[in-house]
Structure 1
Amino acid sequence: YLNQFGLLASSNAPFFNQHGGLVPPAFALTMTATNIGGTIYYTTNGEDPRVMFSGAISSNALLYAGPVTLNQSVLLKARTLNATNWSALAEARFQVATLGIPLRITELMYNPTNPAQEFLELQNVGTAPVDLSGMYFDGITFTFPAGSSLAAGAKIVLVTSLDPATFTARYPAVAVAGYYSGSLNNGGERIVLNDRQGNIIVSVDYDDAGGWPTAADGAGYSLEILDPQGDPDNPANWRASTQPGGSPGTTSPPPPPPSVRLNEVMAENLGAVTNNGTYPDWVELYNADAGPVSLEGWSLTDDGNARKFVFPPGTTMPAGGYLVIWCDDTTNTTPGLHAGFALGRTGDNVYLFDALTNCVDALTFGLQLTNYSVGRIGGEWQLTTPTPNQANVAAPLAPAGSLVINEWLANSAPGQSDWIELHNTASLPVALRGLYLSNTSSVHRVTSLSFVPPAGFVQLFADEAVGPDRLDFKLPAAGGAIILYDQTAIEVDRVAYTNALEGVSRGRLPDGSANIVSFPGTASPGASNYLNTYTGPVLNEVLARSPSSASQSGPLVGFVELFNPGTAAFDLAGMSLSLNHAEPGQWVFPANTLLPANGYLVIRCDGAVPVSMVAGDFNTGRFLDDESGGAYLFNTSGQLVDSVEYGFQIPGLSLGLAGGQWQLLAAPTPGAVNSAVASLGNSSALRLNEWMAH
């Protein structure tokens, strides 16, 4: 009753058009005095606009006279003053130009010389304090108690509970924020900080191999992150501490740029840069020193083998000079140096070591574009047009607003991953680094050097795994929203869904449009969306495991059988078949491959003999996986029109269509009507019979 007439103080608290949370830069915050009105006073420094116990207006309070533009993160407090009566306090924290909670794992002492000296360092890289209450780790056991907080820019150190006195004796000046049970794995593991609802805030998947600094693995040094805003799973973004014992709670100065450095990298060269008629990947070095530098004994690699390619005697770089290393076979007779390894277009690492195997420079890149390179410009890596042995030139880019969420799978089949597909509607590439994706409860910032091609697509897996195409959240099958934000936290695109069906993706048709449809059987991640209007031959029978008594080339070698249910012959020319994974064009039907109405066509799957395109003796030249495989049929446009996937198979028994469903058949019948369905035993007869736990 009192509240109805505005007589309760809390009923007159100012109302915000958004009560805190994530807002874009220049967000216009409005405040409304509810019920009985009054004048609104507010502060942005965390103080109360009312002087405690006196009722006076604080000297730091501001009079609300219209929308307040927020360009930095603030803790805003507001009250309404009506005559001499103050309302209850309205309080909200706004985070501007960033999404997610700004906490980063910045140092790991995972394998110290004394196990009691193990520690983890956490930093608030934001501009406002962070309430840590209830946050907890996976990988180690620790939950922040209620009331815990971390000031803007501050660091805290968590220490193993093994022997606190030993740690204090080694690090007497370090203020320990807490002791965790368990330990950091000496061989590497995934460490995750979760919010109190169980959503991932930040994770690190460190290792003691694969390019991770080796001095941190038992030699008394820690892992220190180089760029807290960079990729925490990127080994090139970490270094061994400059001092034994690391730097818990403090910040080490960044290393100076090396004189000889990685300068340009091309991982998908399909014709842009030639080396005597070949088009290999390549790496370019630059010598910024004032004098020549000998590279004799230096090395280059793309993995944990630091000596994968060693520069031969006499290799010298002049002052201000460039050197290109071609990433192809060392036996190549074309001019220049040949590394003996190629680069991966979906993400890879490049490391440069000196003659003493000290890591001089490193780069990790993500999804790359055909006939583009990445290069250093102004100290930052960005997309470039290829310019080997010359100064780098930035490639023009389209804004993030050119991207749309084009297709997604929120209820993947068991053992598979959810995913999101982005489509670039522009005629220029779009950079992914710095963009945010959210499932409303979690936020992932893309930190890899990745790009979307003009009018192209990228698939990002929502499975909390490691890689440039992986997101640190999953999609709830029950429904939700997927949101894309640009680098300044402004929303670019959003889609909502409910009750996702297993294995059925949803998306826009046509690409980039507002029309959202389901794609049963025609999920097309990384390609244009389509619905299946195909009415031609279908997969009808598959034998993946021939009898153990049959020879590899015997009559019951693995096969795939097609059946034409139509009333007229069908020409399969230009269509393709793939085994074990969906790969359009893996085996293409030759010209004039006519399948009569109600006819059958058998394609052998014999990896022991060459591929055959001879009518009546088709052979893919590959075996079907007999433990977990599949067969996939594609139309002439490379679109999937039919498929079957399976698990462990029984020798000599095939799978086939029976009553419109794939079933285990009593006997293989290649080129003929499928046999009856096999009789199966009761699953209650199954027993766990043997296992190995370690």
Structure 2
Amino acid sequence: EPDWLEVVNLNDALPVDLSGLHFALDGYAVGLSSPGFLEAGGYRAFYPVNIPRRGSLRFKIPSAGAELGLLDSQGNLLDKISFGLQIEGTSLGRLPNGIGGFQQFSEQATPGQKNVIQESSSIVINEIMARNQTVIYPGMAGTPDWIELFNKTDGLIDLSGMRLRLDGGDEWVLPDGIYLEGHDHFIVWFDGDDLIRRGEFPGIVVDRSLPPSGASIELLTAEGRQLDQLRFGIQVIDQTIGRKGNQWQLLAEGTPGKVNGNAALLGSTDDLRINEWSGGGEGDDWLELYQRGNQPVDISALYLTDDPSLAGKTKHAIANLSFVGPKSWVVFRADGEPQRGSDHLNFRLSSKGETLRIYSDSLNVIDEILVAESFVQGGSNGRLPDGEDRLVSFDVVETSKGIPNHTQIEGLQINELLLTPRTPSGRAIEVLNFGANPVDISGWAIGSERSSLDAFRLPAGTVVGPGQFHVLHEAFWLPSDIIRSRDWQISLTERIYISEIDSQGIPTGRRLSAPVLPTHWNESFGKFDLSHVDEFARLQSATFGKSLTESLETFQLSAGGQNVIPSMGPLVISELLIDTKTGATLLPSILDGVEFIEVYNRSNESVILSDTVRNLRGWRLAGGVSYHFKSDVELEPGQVLLVVNYDPSKEPMITGALQQSWGLPLMVSVYGPFKGRLDNGGDLVRLQELVMLPNSMGLEHNAESLGWVDEDRIEYASDVSWVTPLQSGVFSLHRLDQDSYGNVSLNWGFNSPSPGQLSEVTHPKQNSGFIQGLSLVEGGIVLEIATQVGVRYTVQHTDALNRGHWNDLRTLTGTGDSDVVFDASPYQDTRFYRVIAEQSISPD
């Protein structure tokens, strides 16, 4: 906090002119840089001139003590104080206010306000949940974070107008009429998923989540005086921190609205390892720790450093109240900007090699790593398996920040999953061998990072033939000693892993993995090979070969099959306008920076996006931007609506400019503002629907809970797989076919913005760039490519789809006819080809 001093105008009737006012520090008088007037009965805090927007004081106040005087324009002494050594974070002030003697205020400084003694011990922040991923409380949906307040007195306290402030910025005011009984608790729920407001429960709701990597929380009076404050660091999934006596500790179990539970049993810091790191090249530097033990570990006051000197041991101190869970990972961003959060280090990783160490609070080395000079561009280096001694390099697709380290398995991939069957023991995982040789996966492990990577083993004789699918049915999984099949709990924040196990029963670190997606009962999700990215998506129908609806026995005969296209909802994203630049155009400047997302109802029925009465319905935008529809919103068939990055109720002039400049129809509804911005370099935008979903934590009882599912998504990019306009101006990204899957670059093109109108846009790459023919000849392979005049194409190949790397074979310019490309002697049993149009045709 900066130095400051405060003056008060004791005249309650007249203002006072501060011109000519001087302060004297140890007899040396200085004037003010911007005096002004002080209103009747008003207060003014003066800060040093180096404080932006507030500074007018031409000296700093010595913490060792001094004499301060207040002089009028004639040099007459109006007031003075002599003080000695000051305690950091405290202030001196008169009590009674303005006329009494000076006394110390500890954590109750009130610059620019009346001095009072606040009963700071009467109400306190008592418990915090900042990383809730799976804990569901009675009477509510979702997994909210929360802050608990506690009345330490016997009497009733009025909470009306009190505020919670996060990191000195965002504030939330408690509404009028809230009273807290003596020794009672009050909960503020933080609901970033917009789920819990749809239930019945005590407390109030804030529509955001708490930062899991740490923050500063303040409890303030209605006037802004601080009652309590807590700064915490990196948190453990599903566990709280709370008061135990006069100390804050990690608790074994969260108890919102009740007396705090027992402190958690903590493990040893000796189980910490520097596990993976990336830096020294392009992109963000980062460093990952892994905790090998079975209990959470307190990492507060440990030190991370890249400086081997004696003074460098304490280069970066990990924030107070920071913890890492059992067999879990914590990632620090090595960006040299620790002010950005507890997970940011005050150093970057060197491209020339260095030694990384983690020290205990007694400055003993817990672990160290000698980082080699060479870095894998876009990849990382680390231990394999996690926490073990062997160090390896990971390529781009193998980098595993915050999840288990692994290397890819050539020729094998997880292709489709069914995790929410109505029938007990009906879960299934389909794998595909796209290699030339059979792969024996007998004895391999199935699991997830939170429950166990080794939850089940595959039976003997589990072999995937070349070019074959193989369905791994739950009924044949061999559970470990510590878990039963139906007890395997999987959260939507995890990944599924199939891990190679060697002949000694030890994991090798080679794994297959897939994300866990929210799905309806008996709905599968699988890999979808797109033009620009491979992703997992909910499928229109399961393609295991047999249906689970027939019988479990019949389903277990499934041999697998090619995945169908992803499922699509009734609403789709039809147009994106990204960061309007009006400077070189004739557009009104009021449109500068405007962004919008257009949503279209492609179905034959009206769709309710939000219903204030039946609030179990809902839609939202998520991803790089976020917006929740909360009023009564309904979209008729064939109609569109617009979500913008400004508040249309407060800035109707911008909406008017959209109507005049780009023909936005008057009847089209405009909503906003959405949070965030659409990134020019690429971003992910999701259109999600609120539905009742199987609760993967309670499949045994066919339990359901509210959740969000993707009904449409687009992950646009700035690379060559996406068309970009060659001419200058303002262009938006238009969906070409409203009934085709959205996350395919060939289904999008640039054209002039047309908000509220479905424009006729054709893709400059359509009907070109595809492989018309492929033939094996002596010495190689011949490919026949359909082209369009003036478009540049790059033909690429790879011998393994899961490596994420494609090699250029040839670049050519389209003639409008078919062109022939020759690949000489690939020397591989399997080779994949693709064609990318690198230069687009300018839109009309």
- TM-score, normalised relative to structure 2: 0.42
